[in-house]
Structure 1
Amino acid sequence: MQLVRPEKTSRPPANIVIVDDEISSVVVLEAAVKDLGKVTYTTTPADAIELIQDIQPEVVLMDIEMGEYNGVDLCKQIKNSPATAKTAVIFVTSHSNPDLEYFSLDSGGIDFLTKPINLKTCKMRVANQLALYYYAKDLENAKEELYNEKEQFKATLNSIGDGVVATDAQGIVTFLNPIAEHMTGWNAVDAVGKPIELVMDLKDATTHEKSINPAHLALEENRIVAMALNCQLYSKSGNVYRVEDSAAPIVDEQNRLRGAIVVFHDVSESIAMAVKMNHLANNDQLTGLPNRILLHDRLEQAIKVSKQNRLMTGLMLIDIDNFKYLNDSLGHHIGDILIKQVAMRLEFAMDANCTLARVGGDEFVLIVPNVREIRQLNTIATDMQEVMQKPFVIEKQEYSLSVSIGISINPTDAETEGHMMRNADVAMFRAKKQGKQCYCFFSQNLEQDLHERIELEKVLREAIDKNTVEVVFQPQIDMATQQINSAEALARLKDKNGNNIPPPKFIGLAEELGLIDLLGQQILRKSCTAAKEWYDKGKEIRVCVNVSALQFCSPGYFDQVFKILEETNLRTSMLELEVTETLLMQDIQVVEEILRDLSLTGIFIAIDDFGTGYSSLSYLKRLPVDVLKIDQSFVRDMLDDKQSLDIVKTISDLGHSLGLKLVGEGIETAEHEQILKSFGCQIGQGYHYHKPLAKKDFETIIL
């Protein structure tokens, strides 16, 4: 049975025309499709072409034999007219001759209905044709919009006042706009194909040492990277420009890294004016704090003084958590007020000999000179976070903020200013990864972790690009019959040495990199393909596929599942989607809508690891859930821990009261199985039965 996707967008009613010389047939057809759009009919075939040309309907339902008129000939006329060439023609006939069906479809018809008309089948087929019609129309509009957007983007890049240089994934130049040509001294024709560090000759303005091009950092770390402080661009023509701005990675539709883009502008005149206008040069206009220029001088002096005193200099990079979301949702006016209030609190928490600077939209740098012991920096970082605990009040509205802090120390982990900033940025990035609202010191371990992360990212991206992530299956056993009736699909990824990478590690990274949609689709497709193969061999084994909360809440998730089911031709009842309690803490209205759409198609919905989260029972009651999976941590401990046993019993009672099927995970012994059976648990999963098996090994126990 083919699925009909629920209509999500509002459109004007579809026009459907019925052409049949028998009014009784018209009445039946109209009854079948009246809910799908505006229905117009004629029982006079001679008027059909003029009527269809006037209305230009999306779908025409037409009898083949109508006295002296032939529906096949009328169809050819419809298809030969530019105004109605895209109209879908569905033939209706009481004949069952296969040749008649062939010639009808060969004339341009799109489907074929036989009398007597089945109302449900007729409605579904017309609905499917309408869906295809709108899909084709949307695709055509999207192509036109994409072309216009491309031309507009090209014109914009060539007309903006900033220099723009694009590279491929190896840092080789692929594009220069006119401003970039002027500032670098390179013609675009000559620059394309050259390494970006050759075209953009960047050096430190004080030491004149070669600077790392931000495009390389953007490619290596797959994130937006600002240019180094105090950066100069040496033109091929001999000119020198002070430049600043940033680089960002370029990814394609599948989130594969395709290159980087550097946007920069000449700030030489601004710096020259800064000499005359000290305040504007040295202070951030919004907060009054030192800006990057003064920060450079203060940091340079702090390092010199600390070295003379044989002490250390600490640098803290402070970033407001989730500020972009607040700024975009509340407006820049409120965002600016929050920035100023944050600056005031940070100043209040720091020592008098420290320097606090604002270096970006929501980033601050704190310089701590003459550090005797590391614990001094611990104390300052703790103070910085404590002053953020009290809500910020703006126009009688409270806002809660937190900060993540990365700390670098000279000379312990960095010798130069640029190195300190880079290390602090790495440490701050780690603090964000650890859950935000914390601080982190840079160390060689962090550097090593960063390299390991880059390697893992390469392995993950390559596996997704080549579709080599393996799916293994752990059987689920009906404890009453001891038969396998389902299997949980589990993703497996190996590193370059062939060792398994823990799933939480690479799945968490996929979420962080925005690759979880593509990874989830590949796992679902392989799982559905396996289930269809087993079904065709006489084994009805339902596959249970885990869904990431990020993937589930991404736009178009229902469409992803719908498409894969159609591609693999798998019955919806053969698929079970497992969501975690964490998902229920998202926007409950959105979650409920998606779950109901999935459930209505016949897909089973399971709550995985139940008992470990904080979901509301009221949510659980209102959602279309079929299965509760009791978390394995409780099952494994229930033999020795009464509290775990009580939790398992409570979850079982709850599942029975809600009419849900219960699955016990982590069953390792017969005693585990016996207790769960006594609680009314129907399905078991764990090493007592089978470990997760490769597809070919799984098939040896079911076929």
Structure 2
Amino acid sequence: MDTAVSTSQHGGPVEPLILIVDDVAANITLLGKAVAGLAQVVFATDGISALELAFSRAPDVILLDIEMPGMDGYAVCKALKASPRTAGCAVIFVTGHDSAEHELASLNEGAVDFVQKPFNLAVVRARVRTHLELRARTRQLRLARHDLMDLVHSLPAFVAFWDAAFVNRFSNDRDGRWFGVAASAMRLRPLAEVVGPGNAALIAAHAASLEDGGETTFEMQVLHQAQRRYCHAALVCRMREGGRHGYLLLLTDVSARKLAELALGEEKEKFRVTLNSIGDAVIATDGDARVTFINPVAELMTGFHAGEALGLAIETVMPLCNGASGEPSVNPIRIALRENRIVGMAFDSQLIGRAGRRYAVEDSAAPILDAGGKRSGAIIVFHDVSEARAMAFKMTHLAQHDALTDLPNRVLLRDRTSQALEQAGRSGQRVALLLLDLDNFKAINSAIGHSIGDALLKQLADRLRMFLRVSDTISRQGGDEFVILIPALDEVAYADRVARQLLALVATPLYHDGVRYDVTASIGLSLYPDDCSEQEEMYRHADAAMYKAKQDGKNRYHFFASEIEEILLARNALDRDLRIALDESEFAVAYQPKVDARSGRIVGLEALLRWCRADGVQVSPADFIPLAEETGMIVQIGSFVLDQVCRDLVELTAAGCAMRISMNISGKEFQEEGFATRIAAALDAGGIAPALLELEITEGTLMGDIERSRANLLQLKRTGVSISIDDFGTGYSSLSYLKNFPIDVLKIDQSFVRDMLSNTQDASIISAIIHLANSLQIALVAEGVEQEGQAAALAAMGCSTMQGYLYARPMPLTLLWPLLKAGRVPAR
């Protein structure tokens, strides 16, 4: 239903009314049918009754037949338009004529439309609906205008319209509260008579500056009954065709705000004078940390004048940095604004002035809150403490450092040792204390003089200081005695290495005025918690070990704990033997077959490193591989294994026994730049199919740096080799890397295989690994298979490729040829 609904004067809905006037009942019926559902419908059959209905009901639309007996439609329309009650009704003439003469006559009488006979009901309905909607909108506009006038008259502001000659045409000041002239009396009065000559001239000047249709705002004062009002004025130019129609003037009383501004201005001036008079630097900012005020002291320190600084970010005007590192610091203003609290400046803060000069600064920043508690900005107060801080630093430094060498003295060493022991107690690490005493230096000092002796000690102190790590401490205890503190020690071998290097460093000749001086030292080492439990005991043990070194001939070092010394001596001997083994080609490669347990067929080989010393002693890989990795020699050893495997692959291929060989890759090799290129070059040099080489990598190696490991694996895969995860299940065993890394083979670690028949947990782990690998379509190899029962159980779980003593021990290629030519291991 498409009824047009309008609203009453009070805002409620009113159902529209249609009056149909026709002396023919059939026409009334047809027209009623056409407008059915659009509105309430009433009808009349003659002009007199039509006027009575219209005057009493005031219909929205009247469908009026022109040719009626007695009073025709024109006469009825004329009477309707003459009455205020019905003048607004929309009259639509109904006629059987289609001439332009009749149409003009209808419109001249005040009709809004006409319909012709015979009726097109759809057209009649459309036209009536349109006029009903227009009536509804007209009524709404009339109500809105009425409401707007009520609103304008109730505004706490002066609203008036002046014509182009500045004569008043409208005002909302009914009671004359603004200028003592009521709105009714103000109409047709000139502007100057109402607002006064001065304000009239001000308004006219602003009006003259307006573009056609433009608007402007300004301030003006109104004096009425000895009361001064501060007003905000808005002037709008209204245009009509042919020029300016007039001006709309809006005045808003801002006296309270203006008086508050004046009072605030006075307070701000007092505040400015106060801040400009104090000895501290002061900078204020808005809520975005942009400078709004800077006093003269701050101008001097920052290098920015107030005019330049206003509006700039606090970091631009007041850049701060850490005095020790030089790294930029967060300005306290930012923290005060972000966290809404008072913030002290970080210790050792420095302000970098515009000219590059640095000031050590101290003090704090605080947020500025408005009356509602809302943060509106922040202020920072600071002062230059460069001289005071330099003096304090100098005094502290002198109290904690040796005057001759500028090394930490006994006081500072004691503090750092205490911290190192406390940290080691929490972390489970070691601390090493090395007591270094120069051999026979007192005799040298007596012979050459103390001034030269002091110069040599300073040279030596500089040399030792440059050698040690930043985290280590070297202290001069007086005379020719030095103490080296090594905190957070992960391995004893590092302390051993430092002691050896210190001896070499001290033994390097010293020169003074072109004269060479040779000096040696004896060093004693104490380790926490191995041989001591507190600081004094540590020093005593290092001192005892140092005297032992002197007794043994000087120019050497000793640990206080003999068992540690024995371990380090053995380690040093192994390190020496490893280097000899590389030079003398004592390393060899053995191979252990990988077997398909279902058929006994050999499906691959694993290359295993073996070391037989010149004296015939076999050294276990478990003894020398960790040391080789630590010293970096593993890279050279790995290159030897790669070259040997490639040579053996060439020989196997030529003999018709080509099969994949896997070799272990250390973490250092895997992370080495260009490792994949070296693998590809070795394969190309021998003309070897990349698919014949498999690289075994441990889980721990891969998980060190995930992204780098993935990139390295992808590089290796591009060479065509296979990737195997060695000892799977003993490390991270992360499902994510199995999914994201290009892995071809998982090797089940022998630690699970060893007890799988008696330990249900090991068996469950193996079962889970096999199921996981099969699901991801990754090949499997079980290591350390030594029993038939293990092989049967593994095969039943779904792992058929095995490696272990059950099938063959590792052996040189020369002994492996019979098995390789047979293609299988002997039946058991």
TM-score bucket of the superposed structures, by smaller chain: 0.3 to 0.5
* TM-score of the aligned structures, taking structure 1 as reference length: 0.44
Structure with larger Rg: 2
Higher relative CO (Cα under 8 Å, sequence separation at least 6) belongs to: 1
* TM-score of the aligned structures, taking structure 2 as reference length: 0.38
